[in-house]
Structure 1
C-alpha cells in the first residue's frame, strides 16, 4: 500500500522537475515591444483587439511546443539540426539573417530597460542601456557558473516581478467584463486597427524564442538523456514530452494573461488620452490616473521585462551561432559585443519608441526562416520517429505558420506604405 501511494507522488515530483524551459522562452512574449503594442491597442481601441492576443497566444502554444519537442526528441536544438543539414554557404546565409534578428531583439530589450530606469530614477537613456547590459551580464553569469536550472530560476523570478508590475493596476481599476467579452469577437475598425492587429499578432512568435526553446528543452533533460539519441529511451521521452506540454501551456497562459492585462488596463484608463502612443506617455497617464504607486509598479515591471528579455536574447544568439557555425563564443563575451549596437543607437538621440517599432519590423523578416523549418522538421519520420507530428498537428502547424507569415508580410507592407 505504501508503494502504491508513493509512486504517483514520485511521478508528480519528476514531472515538476522537468518544468522550466517554457517559462524562460515565454519572456519573449512580454518584452518591451509587446508592452508598447498592447498599451497602444488598449488606448486607441479599448477592448476591441482582445481577441488578437487570445489568438496569438493559442498560436504561440503550438509553435513553442513543437520547438521544445524537437529538442527533447533529438537532443539537439533547431539551429544544430539545421547546421547539420545545410551546406556551408546556406548555413552562413541563414546565420546572417538569424544574427540580424537577434540584434533587433537585443535592441528592443535594452531600450525597454533604459526607458524603465529613466522612468524610475531619471537615469539618462544611454546610461540606462549600459546598466541594463551590465545587469544582464550578471544574469548570464548565473547560467555560466550555476547552470541552467539556476538561470531558469532567476528569469522565472523576473517573470513573476513583471507579472505583478503589469497587472497591479487592475486591482485599482478593474476592467469592464462586458467590454472584455465583446473584445473576444474578431472584428476591426479601419486601416489603423488592421496595422496594429497585424503588429500584435504577426510579431507575437519571436524567432529567437523558437531557436532558444529547443535548446532549453534539450539541456533541461535528465542527464541520462541529454546530448544523446533519446529516441531509444522509450519510457522517458513520452514522460518528458508530456511535461513539455504542461510547461508550455502554463508558461504561455501566464504570458498571455499579462499581455491581456496590459491591454485592458489601457482600455479602462487610457482611451482617448493624448501621448499614450509611447511607453513614457502611457506610464505618465497610468500614474496620473491610478496614482504614483501603480506607476512605479508598472515601471518596475518594464525593468524586469527588459532585463530578463535581453538576457534571454543573448542566450538565444549564442545558441544560434553554436548550432549553425559550430563556434561557441563565451556567453559573456557575446553579451558585451551585442550590447554595443544598442548603446550606439541610443546615443544617436533617435526616439526610443521609434527604435522599438523598427526592431519589430526587422523581427518580422526572420519569422519564416524559423517557422517553416520547424514545421517541416517536426514531421520528419527519420528525425523524430514515432514522435513526429500527427497529421492533425501538422495541418494546424502549417495553418499557424501561414497565418503568422502572412500577417508579418501585411505588417511590413502597411508599415512601409504608411
Structure 2
C-alpha cells in the first residue's frame, strides 16, 4: 500500500507512458487525425482530450499494448463527438464518417505518408518561415509552446500567437493537406528542407529541460528527409537534399558517444569514437562525396562536408582544421550568419590560437546564445583568464535549459585551472 502523501507508482507509470507516447508518436497520431478530419485545430483538441483520458485510465487499467493506436482511436471518437455536438452540416458528417467508411478517400498527393503531407502543409509558401518551423515542431514533434518559444528565444505568448495565426491561415486559405505535384515541388523544397533541418537540430540537442536530446525527433527528421529525397528524384534530386541527409546521418552517427553515463554532454574531442555508428558514417561520407562530384555547393552540403572531416578519423588530434576553416569560409560566403561565424572561429582557434578566435567571437555579441558564452569561456580558459572564464560559464548555464549541456558547463566551470580542451568541440 502506498503511504499517505506518497506518490502513486501506478499514476506515475501512467503519466510516464503518456509522456513517452507523446514524444515518440505525437506527429504520427495528429497527422492521421488531420488527414481524417481536415482540421488541425479539431485534431489537436481531440488528441488533447484523449491524452487526458489516458492519464486517468492507464494507471488503473494498465498501459495498452498499442498506446499510439489507443490514442488515435480515442481521439477520433472525441473528434466525431465534437462534430455531432456542434450539429455541423451534412458534409461535416460525411467527413467524420471517413473513420469507418470504406470508400477510398480523395487523392492527397503522390505518397501515402501522413507526416510527409503534414510537413508540406506546414511549409506552404503562404506561411512565413518562423511560422512554418514553429507549426512543424508543434504538430510533428509534439513540442510544447514553451519549448518552441525557448528554441526561438521569444516569449511564450509571442510563440502561441504565431502558431495560432499559422493554423488560422491554413484554414482560411484552404491550404490543401497533400504533397505537391512535380510542378510545385521544386519551389516548395527549400522551405521543407529548412524546417527538417531545424526539427533535426531539436532532436540532436533539445531546447527542453526534460531531456538532453530527442532521438525520436532526430530519427523522424531523417526518415522524412529520406522520403523527400525519394520524392525529389522526379525533379533531379537537388544536391542540397543529399547534403541535408548526409549532415543528419553524420550527426546521428555520433549519438552513442554524445551523452556520458552521468548524463553530461561529451564534446567531440572527448568522445569515444569507437562508439560511433560506422554504417551511418559510411553512408554520410558517400553522400558527401557524391555532392562534391556534382559541384553545386550549398549550405547543407558544406555543413555535411565539415562533419565528414570531423568523422574522418578516430583520433581527434588528427583533425584537418585547415580544411574545416576552408569549408567554413565557403559556408560564410553562402550563409553569413553569426552562428556560422561562431563555428568558424572555433576552427580558427585551432590554427591561429585562442586570442585570435576570441576577438572574432567577441565581435558577434550572441548574448542570448549558450554556445557563444561556452565558446568564450573555453577560449578564456585557454588564455588563463580564469575569473572571466568562470563568469562566461555562468552566463552559458543561465542561457540553456538542456540538462546535459548544463551539467557539462558546470563541470567545466568547477575544474577551471585544470587541463584545457578545445573550445568548440561541441557534441
Same-fold call, TM cutoff 0.5? no
TM-score for the superposition, normalised by structure 2? 0.27
TM-score for the superposition, normalised by structure 1? 0.28
Instruction: Please identify which structure carries the higher helix content.
Output: 1
- Relative contact order (alpha carbons < 8 A, sep ≥ 6): 1 or 2 greater? 1
